[in-house]
Amino acid sequence: MISLAIWTTSLGSILVVYQYLFLKEMLGTKYRYTFLWYYLGTWLYGHINVWYGIAGTVWGNMIYLCACALALNTLLFHGSAIKRSFFTLWIYGIHEVASAVLFPLFQSIAILNGQEINFDFIMRSVDLASCIASIFMMEILKRKLHLLKRDFEDRDGIYLVCIVTFICVTVSMTAMTFFQVNDWDTEYVCIVAVPHSLIALGGEVLNVCCIIMLERRLVERLAKQQHQMLRQQLETSKEQYEQLIKIRHDMRNHSLCLAQLLTNENIEEARHYLEQWNVSIEEGESVIQTGSIFADALLNPKYRQAKKLGIDISIQMRVPGEEKIAPVDLCCLLANALDNAIEACQRGTAAGYPPGRIRMRSQIHPNYWVFEIINSAYLPVKRHGGRFLSSKQIPVSGIGLQNIRTIVERYEGVLDLQSGTDFTLNAMFPLS
């Protein structure tokens, strides 16, 4: 009995370590010594429940643990409230459902063997087996489902929270039936225990299936983004190639025309013709060179688009390599930031103001990358609850800024937004 208690305590400590590693992988930590605070916080609210008996029932204990863990995770980890809620509920839901799978089986085996039921021994055995099951599942999901790193939207999180809550409530209600199993006849124990365990096992499988389906959606979404980015890059390369072919094809004619103008001593016409020729050559060149072909393919068309709109735009960019920031994330960040800036300038123009200006620059330091974009903001940017709202007719937060926030959180960076006569977006990404 003593050895079982020691094993349960030791495995419980290991479970806390795995829970921390799982949350760190999925959400990202806020502080340097996060594990120490996480372990102390988990130990504290767990022992407070033991000392004062705050939650005496299975379902009450589940609510108490989730509430305390959510408060602790809010203090220590990044991510929106929905995502933190989901991961917190999922961690404790795994353990609760695993207990519901094993408890009827353990208790029915003890009854069938004719042994006097030691409820405390059964609960410790179930808790020990549930800890092993929880560690096993978290390890699998941490390795296989790496796309869940804060990459899903809040609406996906709400959907998953509802599913996991329903599973936990249903399974807990079926498990509570066995608290009075001592009053049953022995012949009925297995008949009832096996279906209850299978129901709980089905809930555990449904938990995993929901995560797998979410991963597939994220893979499809990521593939779609990569396809769009590749298509845009190919279109840009095609335009540049066609422009180059056109220039090479017409070069002989241009040379003959210039020679004829110079022969006739039409110097001004020759100079004007040469200037127009240079403009057509420059349109086929990459004005922006960041060190990333993906960023160049994205920024050059948008730069020319802003120029055509009359916007005073300047881009001085150097970006980290692909091993530091994924090309999809980098292009998503740059595209959303620049699209928002161009849209703001267009709104000012539509309201009768000058076209405006955009300044986009970045610096690579040894341990971090700093990105900044400043654009004219003649019209005030609306806020709600500390968030900037979209300029569209619907009162929602700007999708572009939401995407930027998601990327910054993914790399555990810092985002700063300032609004005045200019709108400034600063983002810092650690490169370690």
State whether 52 and 125 are in the same domain: yes
Task: Establish if 245 belongs to a structural domain.
Answer: no
Choose the weakest-confidence range: 33-42, 147-156, 201-210. 147-156
Q: Are residues 192 and 296 both part of a single domain? A: no
pLDDT digits (tens, 9 = 90+) for 76-89: 987 778 888 888 88
Report yes or no on 231 lying in a domain. Answer: no
Each residue's pLDDT tens digit, 377-402: 876 665 544 455 445 443 334 567 87
Pair (143, 23) in one structural domain: yes
Q: Are residues 14 and 160 in the same domain?
A: yes
* Average pLDDT value for the chain: 77
- What's the number of domains the chain is made of? 2
Pairing of strands 368-376, 357-364: antiparallel
Q: Give the number of other CB atoms < 10 A from CB of residue 253.
A: 9
Q: Does any domain span residue 275?
A: no
According to the model, what pLDDT value does residue 396 have? Answer: 36
Does residue 181 surpass a pLDDT of 60? no
Distance (Å, rounded) from C-alpha 163 to C-alpha 286?
50
pLDDT at 249 over 90: no
Q: How far apart are CA 129 and CA 353, in angstroms?
A: 69
CA distance 77 to 81: 10
Pairing of strands 312-316, 357-364: parallel
Higher pLDDT pick, 144 / 140: 140
> Is 138 within the bounds of a domain?
yes
Let me know whether 49 and 160 are in one domain.
Answer: yes
Q: How far apart are CA 63 and CA 316, in angstroms?
A: 52
Judge if 297 and 216 occupy the same domain. no
Lowest mean pLDDT among 40-44, 213-217, 243-247, 383-387: 383-387
Query: Residue 214: pLDDT above 80?
Result: no
Separation of alpha carbons 244 and 31, rounded Å: 53
Which of the listed residues 172, 201, 225 is the one where a domain comes to its end? 225
What's the pTM value of the predicted model, to 2 decimals? Answer: 0.59
Q: Is 406 helix (H, G, I), strand (E, B) or coil?
A: helix
207 & 293 share domain: no
The residue with tokens 């372990």 is 39
Which residues, in sequence order, are CB contacts of 26 under 8 Å at separation 6+? 79, 87, 142, 148, 149, 150
Residue 71 and residue 163 share a domain: yes
In a domain, 91, yes or no: yes
Per-residue pLDDT at 24 exceeds 50: yes
Domain that holds residue 156: 2-225
Assess if residue 108 is contained within a domain.
yes
- Identify the three-state secondary structure at position 358: strand
Choose between 108 and 404: higher pLDDT. Answer: 404
Among the three residues 225, 254, 273, which one is the final residue of a domain in this structure? 225
**Of 225, 252, 268, which one is at a domain's C-terminal end?**
225
The lowest-confidence range among 37-46, 85-94, 207-216 is: 207-216
Q: Are residues 22 and 158 in the same domain?
A: yes
- Residue 425 sits in a domain whose CATH number is 3.30.565.10
Would residue 283 count as lying in a domain? no
Compare 207 and 44 and report the one with higher pLDDT: 44
pLDDT above 70 as % of the chain: 72
Band (pLDDT 50/70/90 cuts) for residue 106 is confident
- Nearest to 12, CA basis, from 60, 57, 50, 55: 50
Task: Flag whether 349 is in a domain.
Answer: yes
